[in-house]
Structure 1
Amino acid sequence: MSDDATNPDDERGSEVDDYTGEVPRIEVPDDASALLGDGPTGFGDGDVADIDDDAAVEEGSAEAVEADSAELLAEVDRLRQLAMRQQADFENFRKRATNQQNLEVERATGKLANALLPVLDAAEAAYVQHPDEIGPLLNQLIGELKKVGLEPLDLADQPFDPELAEAVAHQPGNGGETIVAEVLRSGYTWQGKTLRPAMVRTTD
């Protein structure tokens, strides 16, 4: 056998104490918790404290994230409410602007129609003298004005209404209901409102 071969007895012999000649004994502690000492591989009190600190930090971070999320959601809700109010204000402004524009157009058209009343009066007076020549022109003029809201009042033989007519003459009758006997000057309404009351002669 070669001299280089390793003898198991020699290996065990290497564990013998050189001074006492005895093999050292390894004692296992009765309490297994003793293994959890402060050594390099154990978990001591310091390590447990570190774990508790880490858990506290994680819990605090979670609470901070939750608080930040709640604050962010509140801000989003506030901005949404603000946007809704701005939208409502814009819609109200648009409606007011549209209504104002319509009123301005209505006033301008009403002023134009009112300015044309003397022209209508002259055309009616000319119609009495020359019905065949003036009739078509007068009808066309009134027809165009009707398209924008002008309506002549038809009051002949109708009960007298002081809101629509002004009685400048009266012819006594049988004492019954007062009616319009003759229209002396035509009256007109504009957009459903009295633009100019008619001048009439009444009878009863």
Structure 2
Amino acid sequence: MAVSLSNNFSLYNPPKTLISKKPTSYRHFNPSAISFSINKSKSPLLFLSNSKTPFSFNSSFSVKATNFPSQINDQDEVHLDDVKNTVNDGGEKSPTLKSLLKVYKEAVLIGDERTASEVESLICEVENEKNELVTKTSTLRAEMNSGKERYIRLQADFDNFRKRSEKEKLTIRSDAEGEVIGSLLPMVDNFERAKQQLKLQTDQEKKIDASYQGIYKQFVEIMRSLRVAVVATVGKPFDPLLHEAIAREPSQEYKEGIIIQEFRRGFLLGDRLLRPATVKVSAGPGKKKQSTVVKEPTEQSAAAAGVDDSR
């Protein structure tokens, strides 16, 4: 039923209130499909009709239906309450800036100042939340970097402690081995001394020497398994870190500073000195002895001799 109004325009159906019945599922209409041409009308009005026939106002206000849906359903209307309900149903999400901008754009198009102001306040809230999140993110990033630096320092300290502990452990073990092996070195001296003094004359003495040599060989193998080595002496340059000089004499065979005789063996445990070797060092070739020339007796000596003979 058409209703006749003044100003020579007609309306087929009464205007429908724009309320969304299903706020969680709506479709935005395209505001660009509406074009306005306002001449000199004092109060232009916009009514959306369910009629398929487009309408126009003769009072210099018109709506073109280009690319505009012929019928607007309840699901096509967008209102600020829809966004609020959508984001507040779960109680966890916040309205996105994109959705707020869409609502703000539509509110401006229809002249809804209250909705526009509410959207502006919500946009301010979103901006404040964003700034707070940026601040929190910066703080957390700084704390993370600080924690990473502390972790790196602790890791370095732990590595240094582990290396120091391993070194101390090896040192303690080496000291213990050195003490035990050092207490056995006099036995080596006794074996060497006995070997030098023993004179093999009878078969019984030879049997004793064979048994003794077997025991000494076994003892030497055990010392080698413990990384014990003998300090080189005769023919080697004197080293104050390895040798102990107790004598020095000229030598025609060895240069100066070369060891010419060993009195007591020295031993090493790995790179550690257990006992220095006692040695004699060459002082170099000695001076040649001057040959004595026998001189002929002089006249005085002969006269003296004659005197003595006469006496």
TM-score > 0.5 by shorter chain = yes
- Aligned counterpart in structure 2 of residue 161 of structure 1, from 235, 238, 255: 238
Partner residue of 2:129? 61
Change (3 A) 1:52 1:159: closer
Whose Rg is larger?
A: 2
5 Å-filtered alignment, 1:69-88, equals 69-88=137-156
CA–CA distance in structure 2, aligned partners of residues 33 and 76 of structure 1? 60
> Could you tell me which residue of structure 2 aligns to residue 124 of structure 1?
192
For the residues of structure 1 that align with 2:237 and 2:137, how far apart are their CA atoms? 76
Name whichever of 58-67 and 161-170 sits farther off: 161-170
Answering whether residue 109 of structure 2 is matched by residue 30 of structure 1, we say no
Shift of 1:112: 1.4
Unpaired runs of 5+ residues, structure 2, are 10-39, 47-109, 199-207, 285-311
RMSD: 3.5
2:172 is aligned, of 104, 119, 123, to 104
Matched to 2:244, the amino acid is E
Superposition TM-score, scaled by structure 1 size? 0.69
Give the superposition deviation at 1:176: 5.4
The count of corresponding residues between Structure 1 and Structure 2 is: 180
Out of 194, 197, 200, the position equivalent to 2:276 is 197
Q: What is aligned with 1:139?
A: 217
Distance 1:105 1:68 in 2: 54
Between the aligned partners of 2:253 and 2:281, the Cα distance in structure 1 is 12
Partner secondary structure for residue 139 of structure 2: helix
Query: Is the Cα–Cα contact under 8 Å of residues 126 and 134 in structure 1 kept in the other structure?
Result: no
Give structure 1 stretches of 5+ with no counterpart.
1-7, 13-22, 36-41
- Aligned equivalents of 2:111, 2:169: Cα separation in 1: 84
**What SS is found at the alignment partner of 1:151?**
strand
Distance 2:254 2:160 in 1: 54
SS at match of 1:154: coil
| Cα shift readout 1:111-140 (whole Å, capped 9, x = no counterpart) | 112111112112222333264332222222
Partner of residue 49, structure 1:
117
Give the structure 2 partner of residue 177 of structure 1.
255
CA spacing shift, 1:114–1:53, aligned 2, 3 Å: same
Matched, 1:186 2:265: yes
Please give the alpha-carbon distance, in whole angstroms, between the structure 2 residues aligned to 1:25 and 1:180: 137
AA matched with 2:41 = D
Instruction: Name the structure, 1 or 2, with higher relative contact order (CA <8 Å, separation 6+).
Output: 1
CA contact (8 A) 2:268 2:275 kept: yes
Instruction: Report the TM-score, using the length of structure 2 for normalisation.
Output: 0.48
1:148-178: CA deviations, max 9, x gaps?
Answer: 232112323x145152333445565438525
